[in-house]
Structures are given as structure tokens and as C-alpha cells.
Amino acid sequence: MTKFSILILGSASAAPTLARNPSAQLININEQYYLIDCGEGTQNRLRQHKIKFQRLNHIFISHLHGDHYLGLLGLLQTMSLLGRTLPLNLYGPKQLKELVDMNLAYSHSTLKYPLIFHETQTNQSEVLFENEHLTISTIILDHRVPCTGFLFKEKPKPRKINPKAIKRYEIPKYAMDNLKRGLDFSFPDKNEVIKNELLTLNPDESYSYAYCSDTKFNERIVPQLKDIDILYHEATFLHRDEKRAEATYHSTAKQAATIAKQANAKLLIIGHFSNRYKDLNVLLDEAKTIFANTQLAQDDAVFEMV
């Protein structure tokens, strides 16, 4: 069964609080870790959850507002101090590389491992990472500075072999790969075809997750999010503060819920809360009036695909 979880490392907006760090999330897909954004304090949150830095090979930065990347420079140097030698892939706006290089130069520091930088495009969606199981693409958001969200989509999984049926029909081992791909089986010396559904079971479900960080209300992203399993969408403000949201290129809880409803999401997580709201339940309640299956992105919360 697939392991696909989202760990909230930070859910605050511009400034950290005693209870909430700035933006950061750790995605775990079959024990492969992907860090999205890295606000200050992120490496301490990773330590608290006993995440080994050596297992972190991909870091995605949505944009260059400090609450989304100021924890990165320290994390990179800590990895070096701990003796990392494996390459680390860093994805973000082109100026991010300049910031990292400048920090290393001014502090007379070097990294003991290769840092591979992947520049994100801000005018069109692109695939940033792909392997046999997963694709990670950008989502073009609408913020005061170039900003991208990230879409994680598992590829269709192979069908599962039905051992009892394989034994009953005496299917040879060499046919297993084709059966997993959904092909029927034909005996070479017989005029007989056995349908795939008689020999296999349905595959495990493939999951999807979208991270939409800082953005004003933007319905253009809905087609890319269609039928998403879990959608994280920023909800910095209540809708009574819509003018403030518009001026700062942020969203309200009601607007985040509207995107989730239009996208037919299964679950909406809202976060990036303004510190002006002491009771976050008012944001949750507002979102639920539009999209009932909404939850808050509280620090240290874990959301599992089921």
C-alpha cells in the first residue's frame, strides 16, 4: 500500500509565533522525502520529527518572500556540517541561486555536497521532477513576486497479481510483468486467451497533492487541480478583509474553499494564517460554508492519503 503523507512544519504567514512557524511542509511518498518551502526554524521542526537530513534530496521553494525561504540557508549549511556528500536538488526562482551563492561567498563557506539548482519558470507550468512512480509539476500562482505552487501526482500503479488465479490457470512466471500492465494472457500452444481481470486484482489508488502557497484568488488554476485528492491553499484572511487580501495578493478562507469546490477536491487544507486572527476556527468555519471537508494546517499535523 502506498505511503503518501503531508507533515505541516509551518503554517504561519509573514512572522513566526510561539505556536506556529512560517511555511514549510514535508511530503513523504513511500519513504522518499520532499520539502516544500523552508521558513525559518524548519530544520528544528525536522529534528523534532526525527527526520534525517540525509534522506532529504529535493527542496522546492515557491517564491522569495522570507517566510518561505529564510530557513533554507541554515539548513544547507547544517547538512554540510553533518557530512552530507549526496547531491541535493533545489528548485526555485532563478534569484534563489544568487541568494545561496552570495550567502556562501560572504560567509566564506562551502558545501561538501553538490547542490543542483533547477530554475522554476513563472509564466507556464512545467514538470520539475519525474520518475517511474511520480511527477512533480509547477502551478502558476498570482502573487506580488513570481510564485509557483507544486503538484504531486502519482502515476497509475500496476495491477496486482492474484496468486490463486495464477495457480488455477497455471500461468508461467514470465507472464507476470505483462499481467501487471493489464495485458491478457495467451498460451503459446493453445488457442486460448485468459482475460486479465481473471488473473489480477485492481491496483492501489494513485494519489495527488497540490500546494498553493501565496496567491490571490485565481480560478485559472482550477483545471490543473481537477479531482485533486488533497489541496493545500493559503487562506491568509477572512473574507471580511477581502480588500486587504486583494491588495497584498493573498486569499481569503472563502476564496480558498471556492477553488477547492470548483476543483472537486476531496480534502482542503488551509494555512498561511495572518497573526491578526487569534482563533483560527473562524477561518475554518468560513471555509466550511463553501467546502465542508476543510481542515486547518496546524503545525505538526499529519495528513495521510487514505
> Minimal CA–CA distance to 66: which of 86, 88, 37?
37
User: Between the CA atoms of 159, 32, 114 and 9, what dihedral angle is there, to the nearest 10 degrees?
Assistant: 140
By the 8 A CB rule, do 209 and 229 touch? yes
β-sheet bridge partners, residue 153 = 135, 208
Rounded CA-CA distance 33/56 in Å is 5
* Closest to 43 in 3D by CA, of 7, 2, 74, 87: 74
In the residue annotation, 67 being an active-site residue is answered as: yes
Distance CA 104, CA 96 (A): 12
Q: Are 256 and 295 in contact (CB under 8 A)?
A: no
Q: Which of 37, 67, 214, 229 is catalytic?
A: 67
Q: What is the largest CA-CA distance in the chain?
A: 75
Any idea of the CA torsion for 196, 198, 200, 205, to the nearest 10 degrees? Answer: 90
Q: CB of 14 within 8 A of CB of 67?
A: yes
Active site residues: 67
